[in-house]
Amino acid sequence: MSGIESVVPTATGAHVTVLAGTPLHQLNELLWARGLSMQNLGDIDTQSVAGAISTGTHGTGSAFSGLAGLVVGLQVVLADGSVVDCSRDQGPDLFHAARLGLGAIGILSKIILDCPHAFAMHAHEAPDTLDNVLRDLPHICETVDHFEFYWWPHTRRVLTKRNTRLPLDTPLKPVGKVTGYISDEFLSNLVFEQTSRLCTRVPAIIPRMNWVAARLLSEREYTDRSYRVFVSSRRVRFREMEYAIPVDALPGVLADLEKMIDTSGELVSFPVEVRFAAADDVWMSTANGRDSAYIAVHKYWRQDYEAYFRAVEEIAVAAGGRPHWGKIHWRTAADLREVYPHFDAFSAIREKHDPQHLFGNDYLAKVLDYRIPAEPV
């Protein structure tokens, strides 16, 4: 189920009906050919549109929502086999639940996305210090369309990424083939894989390795089609946990995180990724009702991750954090009800449309507090 079914022009771009299984990389090309773009994207483009919105996939940009916030209509196959269209005006409760439905509401078959006219994007990556970034954060978030940074634990160094939206007719200056290979493939994937293996065998070298990595970071700028700037190649396997916290809590949470790493003896070779999103009104969105900062922590897949992730989770939860639905966490329905104002409304819609829990599974039983029926339905 992939491809674009229809395009209805709007003042700012178009409402595009997409078949739910369309991979984002395919969608980006299809949109571009029609003079359209995705408003925002995460780090990769291999997900299906349905998988991405159903788990709350987001990118960065304090004026932009995650992908579910761009949905203006849906077609859902419900547990009883009925096929239902919904939007803000037509079945709004089903719409609010199903546009980030965790697979619990029904099977999405079509998704209508609000897409802007195609735009180019200028990328500026630069090394900096954590103190500088935190000091200037409100100003940076206000003036840069899509800002994120990576902080190397055991150092005070960061890599900042500032992406600025530009008109479509801006001359493009993409990363050259050789530079792109060295930076994005050789260093970010091949060398990183080898250093990750080395750090797993000899963890004591991690602080020194991070110190070296943070000093090797260099500045670069390029301009390309928006979707090519949003997305990167990620080929080193890792485990990840990510928490959305109120944006004002970010400096305190990072300070607690650094203190925890320094005092626990935890050795962390992967940088901590920090991103931003505007408040949205998607019921189960990690940014529902509040401007949010995202803190993502990673461990190379051959390394133990649980003690580190649990310690980070404790810090994020104390700040009112909400875990990414598609990444590792240990929160349960009782915890999540506390941080999602629409948790019970979502549960009521799920129960109404799937009373026999056809779409239940172990993960949903944990986070949505419903029992999988003893007998198969």
Give the shortest CB-51-to-ligand FAD separation in angstroms.
2
How far apart are alpha carbons 351 and 103 in whole angstroms? 13
Q: Do the Cβ atoms of 274 and 148 come closer than 8 Å? A: yes
| Shorter beta-carbon distance to ligand FAD: residue 255 or 372 | 372
Apex CA 342: angle with CA 314 and CA 239, to 5°? 40
Report how far apart, in Å, the C-alpha atoms of 365 and of each of 104, 306, 373 are.
10, 21, 11
Picking from 27, 43, 38, the residue whose alpha carbon sits closest to that of residue 184 is 43
| Shorter beta-carbon distance to ligand FAD: residue 3 or 176 | 3
Quick one: how many helices (H) and strands (E) in the chain?
13, 13
Give the shortest CB-167-to-ligand FAD separation in angstroms.
26
| Shorter beta-carbon distance to ligand FAD: residue 52 or 94 | 52
Give the shortest CB-263-to-ligand FAD separation in angstroms.
30
Give the shortest CB-74-to-ligand FAD separation in angstroms.
9
| Shorter beta-carbon distance to ligand FAD: residue 16 or 154 | 16
| Shorter beta-carbon distance to ligand FAD: residue 99 or 122 | 99
| Shorter beta-carbon distance to ligand FAD: residue 186 or 301 | 301
Q: Tally the C-alpha atoms within 13 A of residue 191's C-alpha that lie toward its C-beta.
A: 11
Give the shortest CB-102-to-ligand FAD separation in angstroms.
5
Give the shortest CB-27-to-ligand FAD separation in angstroms.
12
Which chain residues interact with ligand FAD by CB under 6 A? 20, 42-44, 47-48, 50-52, 54-55, 57-58, 102-103, 107-108, 234, 324, 326
Question: Please, where are the H alpha helices in the chain?
Answer: 24-33, 49-54, 92-98, 130-143, 177-180, 192-201, 206-216, 226-230, 250-264, 306-318, 333-339, 343-353, 362-367
